[in-house]
């Protein structure tokens, strides 16, 4: 083959084979600026911040079994004894709780995968976009982040997550929301052109825990360019010791307990 023709064929082949140009640029460091796991009503759309604890609108559409679990969790939260992994570093945060951490995020977009990296934890959520499907049921087992597969429609990412841990392992929110191991999450992600926010719209379906699909929204804003994500382990946090009765204490910079009410145990 003529060398010029061979070179032209190579260039055309590379241009055709590479889908990288179709993927959006979500580089940089992000932080969550709104959204959370709470019930939505006509007067409070999902884009608004979560209402304060005790607001009746903070109420997942639970089945009677999980309503009882939720009410018990609310009492445990009020007593300062709820085992939230963000506070006590007992287990990984998991999905979809990974969208509700207090620290920075990175979103790495590749043609075959998208990764959600959280500074807190750290946690890694892998979303396969190479055309694969979920493994057969016999080849799946429940994990903290589950198994996610998705596809792109322009610059919008759609993905589906199954095989998630259930109650006792994965906690959706520090307010006490949990789900069963039948939880199925569908997610749509896009960058809003007007605001520059990265918008996650989730629908949680759980035939054991929920009476209907539960829509939830999170939005993320970029930190200024050059902002770093630091590597640290949650278990290294020795500034919040836990008392004998399971209460987490808050210390000031000199190591003094600053909680207003402190239980020293039975």
pLDDT tens readout for residues 136-145: 999 999 999 9
Percent of the chain at pLDDT above 90? Answer: 47
For domain 20-230, the CATH class is: mainly beta
**Worst-scoring range by mean pLDDT, 10-19, 98-107, 193-202, 216-225?**
10-19
Q: What is the pLDDT of residue 238?
A: 56
Residue 254, pLDDT > 80, answer no
Q: Which residues pair with 149 in a beta bridge?
A: 128, 160
Quick check: 216 and 36 in contact, CB under 8 A?
yes
C-alpha closest to that of 176 among 95, 71, 97: 71
Q: What is the pLDDT of residues 155-183, one digit of tens each?
A: 999 999 999 998 777 789 888 899 999 99
- How high is the pLDDT of residue 108? 96
Which tens digits make up the pLDDT trace of 108-123?
A: 999 999 999 998 777 8
From its phi and psi, is residue 89 left (phi > 0), alpha (psi between -120 and 50) or beta? left
Peptide bond into 151 cis (omega under 30): no
How confident is the model over 186-217, as pLDDT tens digits? 999 999 999 999 999 999 999 999 999 998 88
Contact 216, 204 (CB under 8 A): yes
More confident residue, 254 or 56: 254
Q: Where do the structural domains in the chain lie, given as residue ranges? A: 20-230, 233-266
pLDDT band at 96 (very low <50, low <70, confident <90, very high): very high
């Amino acid at each position: 083959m003529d060398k010029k023709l061979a070179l032209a064929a190579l260039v055309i082949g590379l241009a055709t084979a590479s889908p990288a140009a179709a993927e959006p640029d979500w580089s940089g460091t992000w932080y969550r600026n709104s959204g959370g796991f709470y019930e939505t009503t006509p007067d409070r759309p999902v884009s608004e911040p979560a209402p304060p604890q005790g607001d009746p609108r903070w109420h997942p559409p639970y089945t009677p079994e999980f309503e009882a679990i939720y009410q018990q969790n609310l009492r445990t939260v009020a007593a300062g004894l709820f085992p939230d992994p963000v506070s006590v570093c007992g287990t990984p945060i998991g999905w979809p709780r990974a969208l509700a951490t207090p620290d920075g995020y990175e979103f790495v977009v590749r043609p075959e995968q998208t990764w959600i990296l959280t500074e807190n934890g750290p946690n890694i959520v892998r979303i396969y976009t190479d055309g694969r499907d979920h493994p057969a049921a016999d080849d799946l087992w429940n994990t903290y982040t589950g198994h996610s597969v998705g596809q792109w429609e322009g610059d919008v990412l759609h993905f589906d997550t199954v095989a998630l841990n259930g109650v006792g392992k994965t906690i959706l929110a520090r307010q006490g929301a949990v789900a069963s191991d039948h939880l199925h999450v569908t997610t749509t992600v896009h960058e809003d052109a007007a605001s520059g926010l990265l918008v996650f719209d989730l629908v949680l379906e759980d035939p054991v825990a929920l009476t209907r699909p539960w829509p939830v929204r999170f939005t993320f804003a970029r930190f200024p360019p050059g902002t770093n994500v630091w590597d640290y382990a949650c278990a290294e946090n020795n500034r919040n010791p836990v008392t004998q009765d399971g209460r987490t204490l808050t210390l000031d910079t000199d190591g003094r307990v600053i909680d207003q009410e402190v239980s020293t145990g039975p």
